[in-house]
Amino acid sequence: MVATTQSLEQLCINSIRFLAIDAVEKASSGHPGLPMGAAPMAFVLWDKFLRFNPKNPHWFNRDRFVLSAGHGCMLQYALLYLTGYDSVSLDDIKQFRQWESKTPGHPENFMTEGVEVTTGPLGQGISNAVGLAVAEAHLAARFNKPDCNLVDHYTYAIASDGDLMEGVSNEACSLAGHLGLGKLIVLYDDNHISIDGETELAFTEDRMKRYEALGWHTQFIEDGNTDLEGLEKAIANAKAVTDKPSIIGVRTIIGFGSPNKANSHDVHGAALGKDEVSATRQELGWEYGEFEVPEDALNHFRKAVDRGAQSEQEWNQVFEQYKSKYPEDANNFQQLISGQLPAGWEDALPKYTPDDKADATRNQSGAVLNALSPVLPGLLGGSADLAPSNKTYVKSSGDFQKGAYENRNFRFGVREHGMGAVCNAIALHNSGLIPYGATFLIFTDYMRGALRLSALSRAGVIWVMTHDSIALGEDGPTHQPIEQVASLRAIPNLAVFRPADGNETSGAYKVAVERAANNPGAPTLLCLSRQKLPNLAGSSIENAAKGGYVLSDSEGTPELILIGTGGEVELCVNAAEQLRQEGKKVRVVSLPSWELFEAQDEAYKESVLPKAVTKRVAVEAGTTFGWCRYVGSEGAVIGIDRFGASSPGGVALKNFGFTTENVLATAKNVLG
Amino acid sequence: MVATTQSLEQLCINSIRFLAIDAVEKASSGHPGLPMGAAPMAFVLWDKFLRFNPKNPHWFNRDRFVLSAGHGCMLQYALLYLTGYDSVSLDDIKQFRQWESKTPGHPENFMTEGVEVTTGPLGQGISNAVGLAVAEAHLAARFNKPDCNLVDHYTYAIASDGDLMEGVSNEACSLAGHLGLGKLIVLYDDNHISIDGETELAFTEDRMKRYEALGWHTQFIEDGNTDLEGLEKAIANAKAVTDKPSIIGVRTIIGFGSPNKANSHDVHGAALGKDEVSATRQELGWEYGEFEVPEDALNHFRKAVDRGAQSEQEWNQVFEQYKSKYPEDANNFQQLISGQLPAGWEDALPKYTPDDKADATRNQSGAVLNALSPVLPGLLGGSADLAPSNKTYVKSSGDFQKGAYENRNFRFGVREHGMGAVCNAIALHNSGLIPYGATFLIFTDYMRGALRLSALSRAGVIWVMTHDSIALGEDGPTHQPIEQVASLRAIPNLAVFRPADGNETSGAYKVAVERAANNPGAPTLLCLSRQKLPNLAGSSIENAAKGGYVLSDSEGTPELILIGTGGEVELCVNAAEQLRQEGKKVRVVSLPSWELFEAQDEAYKESVLPKAVTKRVAVEAGTTFGWCRYVGSEGAVIGIDRFGASSPGGVALKNFGFTTENVLATAKNVLG
């Protein structure tokens, strides 16, 4: 296969290959196989179809590209460099997988401009792509006019066998098929190899048939290594199908070009080794040295700069026309994609007094969503088939469906993990959309992969999780959270909120919306009750937003501090009342969010939980794991460290010790 | 639809319906819709096909039945009662969803004999069914002879729309299709309703086509409410297909018989209400009172008792023949299904001294699996496409594949959650099999639903999780565990082990195998390193099995205790050496498992971590969340509470403070 002269296309494709090979070799770490095998499809996509401006990675109307097979990230880094992004230089490529480099081991949107979402964990990227396409469809439906296609871009993904095996991708792709997302195009790198070896070992389903069943348009390219024309036709075909998402199965040889390692799992995730690198250079007739890119290839790739500038300029003109014809819409559009929250939006947050009826915080959450939707045009979301239980339906809008993409209520189906990845991507579309996704708190277990990524990739998502403790009752231990709140608190960069009443719920949303609208964004997760809770004297939006505050106090230095969250604050309030009647100086602290509280300054924290006051009782209907932080060695925690039980919620709370009596008894024990 | 006389079949089917209706009504809680709609298919299955002995729920060769749509559990409880199980009486049914009743809100195998696996979280049950079928196929291949089918039973599941939407089920079912599990039959209750409403809202894929793509045999029954003959034929057809799993889509009306609520989401998850209960009685011509079962129906159902006794007796005879012809195999079989571990098995556990070469605990884990496989005939398992990385391949056996079910290495593919549910079920097949499932520790996030259920349902599974910290290096923050170990510790009934060296790894397996073989079983999760670690002086299998122990000590009362786990124990050892040279009295404690340590008696725990010694430093390359428990307010924790970074592992460890120098500095700070 030694070619004495290579076509320009081959020069370009091999440039991608060898940047990947050399970078992985230098790092002695990484995945060369996919970049080598998928270089042709990626080249055709980036060269002939993808619309982007290398000098403006944030251009609103750019096509979105996702490398779902994130381990193959050298493929993406090579393309970012070659096409002229400032975010990836040749030096950056030489620093592949090194401390603080712009080219980390899997694509990180927060490290490298041009990377839209963070991938690596398989199945996430392709599911993100569904979310990016959802965002485009929604914005197009809201803003486009018959004579003006303001919002008009495609979402492309390159996915691997592993992506297709993962359950999350079936969830998201089933949803995509149902929604008829016609501007989503997935290139499936069908190389028949995964870490264990041949995919024959475990993955023999008919992939294209499954995707047809999911409502996708499918095509197959037999020779994805050399049939560039076929690839081009297929992508063009896919673009022409406007009522279904498209998947193109592309048969490739992993590690194409490596004479001894191609088509084996050895080339998947390890450097080729010095000898094989040489052998590959020889095999592909590549005379260029380490990290050397032939001038012709680089010049060709760099045409993307002018092309991109022109694309963006053309779009700016479209926007100018739009603005002159539809000034109000244009203003709304600009306001939305700016990401700035409308002035005074928080005035819409419901406020409560103790005279307001007791209510479940899940209901109060629903009230917030319905109150905010009119004033926050970017707010939209839905539930994984639990809208009536999560109370997430916004009555002023309809269902987001094919032909009705302008609506703001999503019906995710029983697909928590898919919902998670889709919501992450709606946020990372970076157009001012603030997505919320909801299910039962227990089923955060089903979507932790996506929850973690929302925190890591700084996605401004609001996670609305109801039925937050054993108090949910009869559904029993499979549904009653025990360890969920603690285990979510342990995720860095995720703020967990467990509000005690209506004001705290509004406060949680104030924080969540602000975090989502920040740049970069950050996710917030709300834990909401099924059962009714009273509105507490002393609660307020401002207090809740601090994450922890003094709800009530005695005169002077407290002898004892009762700390509660969510539904258990009420027990603390009741116990404190009795203790005060007995002459004790008791403070009640509500601690709806550890993360927000810890972010306050030391003086504030000391004022709420003075170090000198060591007699403390914490009460939370969940695991005691981690509470030692706030109660120390002289305190006590009322929690539950075993699985729950099926019974009416009140019976469960009582039998597991969540009663005023038990708080009193524990408090007296601590007081000594 | 008022029938003046009902056929015996209708009497039976309506008996199921009304027990469910009445139980849910009495509890004012529960899901009547599915039992009402799925009663016909369940009746045909239990009446004509399912082989079981109501008086012996543990009979080895019983068919397995799984209600994957666990919310419809009154369907199963009704059948258990009607067919004569002692585990569910009429009183138990009246106590549906009450504290400590035998009829909890979702089926719990540990509460109610006759329930094979715990379901409720959608997608788990159908995936468990795949695992039960795997166990049957494996045991059949190992023990059956050409003239003797000792192991011969079917696995049936009833699944819902929600089950099919969940990604985990696609994973497990793709695997089932690949494996050609011909004795797995799923009845899919296709009622077009989920909590949000019509499945048209979100779930319009072609289900049967997807299952065909997954390699299943598919059929469809248009009228699952009345076509009993069609149902019977379909199940018979499914049984006749021996090289593929079968799914039968059964179109039903949810809440069949309720004149005002049938076919709506209102009947899915709430009691009918007094009026509608009456109306349904009228609609179906049911003259019987609350919880009253017509004698003819009960007698018919109770024939299952004699039938079952006979089935078991026949099988006993088969076993006797088997025993006389194949005494050694019979002995092995009995030994295996007894669940008793072979005497002296633990002698095979590798032991190490500090002179043995440093090695990654993932490698040492692989050595254990290979050493134990010959002496533990029930041990089998695999990885979610990471066998070369997890080191879980057992060389003395081959791949479990179609036509080679006797092999003990599973190739799960990139399907962590499916693997989890399958492993749970292999354990809950209760035949002495000890399954292990492996992936990267970070991807426990993908399978928490199944991990939690392994703990809740007391499944004796060994979870083998490698690449346990930032030390894994270049793959970066998407792969580097931070909060995983802590969040797994928070799951009740799951023992988490993070061994520091070879002896501790062997100790972890000793505990894990014993926990798996207990009755009831319990799962154990191992966190193993990618990087090499030295074998430590003072470590031993016995010590590790206590969960925490003194690795080394100074004379007299320590001034300072250094506590480490896994790879960080070495840093404690090094720091202690230096401190002792400076005249400090330092104790080093290795704490590989919090759960095992806490289970020791108070005297032992006090001897390891005396309360009076308050100056402590804990070192673990993971979140500090929860460590306050062991270091108190005068101690310090060296951990990492942010996401990691892509770089060589050693660089990451150093930059994040996991060095002997930092331990020293922290220790001196604590000592004051």
Cα A16 to its chain centre, rounded Å, is 29
Answer yes or no: do A502 and A597 share one domain. no
Per-residue model confidence (pLDDT) at position B549:
98
Q: How far is A505 from chain B (nearest CA, A)?
A: 24
pLDDT one-digit tens code per residue, A402-450: 999 999 999 999 999 999 999 999 999 999 999 999 999 999 999 999 9
Least Cα distance to B227 among B239, B219, B218, B217 occurs for B219
Domain endpoint, select from A285, A307, A329? A307
- From its phi and psi, is residue B439 left (phi > 0), alpha (psi between -120 and 50) or beta? beta
What would the two tokens of residue A85 be?
A: 């992004």
DSSP state of A262: T
B120 and B188 assigned to the same domain: yes
ipTM attached to this prediction: 0.98
End-to-end Cα distance, chain A: 85
Say if A474 is an interface residue toward chain B (CB within 8 Å): yes
Residue B672 reports pLDDT greater than 70:
yes
Measure CA of the first residue to CA of the last residue in chain B; give whole Å.
Answer: 85
Cis check for the bond before B374: say yes or no (omega within 30 of 0): no
Tell me the one-letter amino acid at A509: Y
- Spatial contact of B528 and B465, defined as CB atoms under 8 Å apart: yes
Residue B386, both tokens = 């990471």
Q: Is the dihedral of CA B217, B220, B221, B224 positive or negative?
A: positive
Give phi and psi for B662, each to the nearest 5: -70, -35
B530 in a labelled binding site: yes
- Check whether B2 has a pLDDT greater than 80: no
- pLDDT at residue B3 tops 70: no
For chain A, the domain total comes to 3
Q: Are A529 and A560 in a shared domain?
A: no
CATH of the domain at A181: 3.40.50.970
Strand partners of residue B563: B589, B618
Q: Is residue B313 part of a domain?
A: no
- Most A CBs within 10 A among B475, B484, B489, B629, hence the mutation to make, goes to B475
CB contact A609 to B (< 8 Å): no
B7 pLDDT tier (thresholds 50, 70, 90): very high
pLDDT bin (cut points 50, 70, 90) of residue A633 is confident
Helix, strand or coil, per DSSP, at residue B144: coil
Residues of the binding site of A: 31, 71, 120-122, 161-162, 191, 193, 268, 362, 389, 443, 467, 475, 479, 530
DSSP state of A638: E
Whether residue A651 and residue B99 make contact (CB cut-off 8 A), yes or no, is yes
Does B206 touch chain A if contact means CB atoms closer than 8 Å?
yes
Do B47 and B113 belong together in one domain?
yes
Using an 8 Å CB-CB cutoff, list chain B residues near A412. Answer: 202
Query: pLDDT tens for residues B353-364?
Result: 999 999 999 999
- What is the rounded CA–CA span in Å between residue B66 and residue B114? 10
* Domain assignment present for B190: yes
Q: Is residue B540 part of a domain?
A: no
* Inter-CA distances, A136 with A144, A291, A382, B382, Å: 11, 37, 17, 41
Are residues B566 and B620 both part of a single domain?
Answer: yes
The reply to whether A328 falls in a domain is no
Give the angle B114-B116-B119 at the CA atoms, nearest 5°: 115
Instruction: Judge whether residue A79 has pLDDT over 90.
Output: yes
DSSP letter for each residue of A459-477: ---EEEEE--SGGG-TT-T
Structure tokens at A385: 């088939």
pLDDT band per the 50, 70, 90 thresholds, residue B5: confident
Q: Which pLDDT score is estimated for A4?
A: 59
pLDDT, one tens digit per residue, over A638-651 is 999 999 999 999 99
Q: Output the known binding site of A for thiamine diphosphate.
A: 71, 120-122, 162, 191, 268, 443
Q: Which two tokens stand for residue A310?
A: 């022109």
Asked whether the CA dihedral A177, A181, A183, A184 is positive or negative, the reply is negative
Q: Are residues B524 and B397 in the same domain?
A: yes
- CA atoms of B422 and B415, how far apart (whole Å): 10
Q: Is B325 within the bounds of a domain?
A: no
CA angle, A159 then A60 then A423, to 5° = 50
Query: Does B318 reside within a domain?
Result: no
- Quote the mean pLDDT of chain A: 97
Residue A3 falls inside a structural domain: no
CA distances from A646 to A551, B103, B104 (A): 33, 9, 5
> Which residues are CB-contacts of A27 (< 8 A; sequence separation ≥ 6)?
A96, A97, A98, A271, B474
Q: Which of B98, B166, B491 sits opposite A415 (nearest CB)?
A: B166
CA distance A404 to chain B (A): 12
CATH of the domain at A607: 3.40.50.920
Residues A275 and A413 in one domain: no
The neighbouring-strand residues paired with A526 are: A464, A497
Contact between residue B523 and residue B462 where contact means Cβ atoms under 8 Å apart: yes
Residue B456: list chain A partners with CB under 8 A. Answer: 477-478, 643
- Output phi, psi for A546, to 5 deg: -85, -10
Could you tell me which of B171, B334, B173, B335 has the C-alpha nearest to residue B245? Answer: B173
Q: Which one of A533, A565, A595 terminates a domain?
A: A533
Q: Which of B625, B613, B512, B509 is nearest to B553 (CA)?
A: B613
Structure tokens at A361: 């915080």
Contact status, residue A559 vs residue A583, Cβ threshold 8 Å:
no
Mean pLDDT of B57-74: 98
- Shared domain check, B563 and B528: no
Task: Read off the pLDDT of residues B169-210 as tens digits, 9 standing for 90 and up.
Answer: 999 999 999 999 999 999 999 999 888 889 999 999 999 999
Task: Summarize the confidence of residues A75-100 as an average pLDDT.
Answer: 98
Contact A125, A69 (CB under 8 A): yes
Q: Tell whether B343 is within 8 A of chain A (Cβ).
A: no
Confidence of residue A1 (pLDDT cuts 50, 70, 90): very low
Q: Distance between CA atoms of A484 and A643, rounded to whole angstroms? A: 12
Pairing of strands A184-190, A155-159: parallel
Strand pairing class (B217-221; B246-251): parallel
Rounded CA-CA distance A130/A172 in Å is: 7
Task: Please tell me the distance from the alpha carbon of residue B30 to that of residue A501, in angstroms, as a whole number.
Answer: 27
Q: Are A399 and A437 in contact (CB under 8 A)?
A: no
CA distance A8 to chain B (A): 33
Residues of chain A found within 8 Å of residue B212, distances taken between Cβ atoms: 206, 209, 213
The two beta strands, A586-590 and A549-552, are antiparallel
Residues composing chain A: 672
Mutation target for B interface from A92, A170, A491: give the one with most B CBs within 10 A. A170
Q: How many CA atoms lie within 13 A of A125 on its CB side?
A: 36
Percentage of chain A beyond pLDDT 90 is 98
Between CA A220 and CA A231, with CA A225 as vertex, the angle to 5 degrees is: 45
| pLDDT (average), residues B30-34 | 97
- Amino acid found at A356: D
Nearest to B417 by CA among B212, B93, B130: B130
For A206, which residue in chain B has the nearest alpha carbon? B213
pLDDT, tens digit, 9 for 90 and up, residues A135-163 = 999 999 999 999 999 999 999 999 999 99
In which band, very low, low, confident or very high, does the pLDDT at A5 lie, cut at 50, 70 and 90? confident
Structural tokens at position B65: 């039945």
pLDDT at B158 over 50: yes
What DSSP element (H or E) covers B334? helix B327-338
Which pLDDT band holds residue B1 (cuts at 50, 70, 90)? very low
A569 touches chain B (CB under 8 A): no
Whether the pLDDT of residue A671 is over 90: the answer is yes
In B, which residues are within 8 Å of A389 by CB distance? 195
The interface residues of chain B toward chain A in range 349-388, judged by CB-CB distance below 8 A, are 383, 385-388
> For chain B, what percent of residues have pLDDT higher than 90?
98
Q: What are residue B532's phi and psi, to 5 degrees?
A: -70, 140
A100 touching B, CB under 8 A?
yes
Q: Are B546 and B533 in contact (CB under 8 A)?
A: no
Alpha carbons within 13 angstroms on the beta-carbon side of residue B113 total 15
Closest CA to B485 of B471, B503, B465, B456: B465
- Specify whether the CB–CB gap between B122 and B163 falls below 8 A: yes
The answer to whether A167 touches A126, Cβ cutoff 8 Å, is no
- Within A546-592, where are the H helices? 569-581
CA of A455 vs chain B CAs: smallest distance (Å): 9
Q: How many C-beta neighbours within 10 Å does residue B496 have?
A: 27
With an 8 Å Cβ cutoff, is A119 touching chain B? yes
Please judge whether B215 and A201 are an interchain contact, meaning their C-beta atoms are less than 8 angstroms apart.
Answer: no
Cα separation of A410 and B201, whole Å? 9
Active-site residue, from A346, A416, A568, A570? A416
Query: What pLDDT score does A571 carry?
Result: 98
Cβ atoms of residues A482 and A642 within 8 Å = yes
A122 contacts chain B (CB < 8 A)? yes
Q: How far is A416 from A427, CA to CA, in rounded Å?
A: 17
Question: Are A451 and A491 members of one domain?
Answer: yes
Identify whether B439 is part of a domain.
yes
Q: Which two tokens stand for residue A332?
A: 């709304």
Q: Is B268 annotated as a binding residue?
A: yes
The answer to whether the CB atoms of B385 and A121 lie below 8 A apart is no
Strand order in the sheet with B184-190: B64-67, B155-159, B184-190, B246-251, B217-221
Residues of chain A neighbouring B199 (CB-CB closer than 8 A): 413
B529 and B591 fall within a common domain: no
Q: Final residue of a domain: which of B257, B284, B307?
A: B307
**Domain check: are B476 and B406 in the same one?**
yes
B403 vs A: CB within 8 A: no
Question: Residue A207: which of A219, A223, A193 has the closest Cα?
Answer: A219
Residues B476 and A277: their CA atoms lie apart, in Å, by 25
* Helix and strand counts by DSSP (H, E) for chain A: 25, 20
Check CB contact under 8 Å for B167 and A171: yes
| Chain segment A369-411, per-residue pLDDT in tens | 999 999 999 999 999 999 999 999 999 999 999 999 999 999 9
Residue range(s) defining the domain that contains residue B575: 547-671
Q: Do B201 and A412 touch (CB under 8 A)?
A: no
One domain for residues B580 and B666: yes
Question: Minimal CA–CA distance to A265: which of B10, B205, B385?
Answer: B385
Tokens of B331: 């002995």
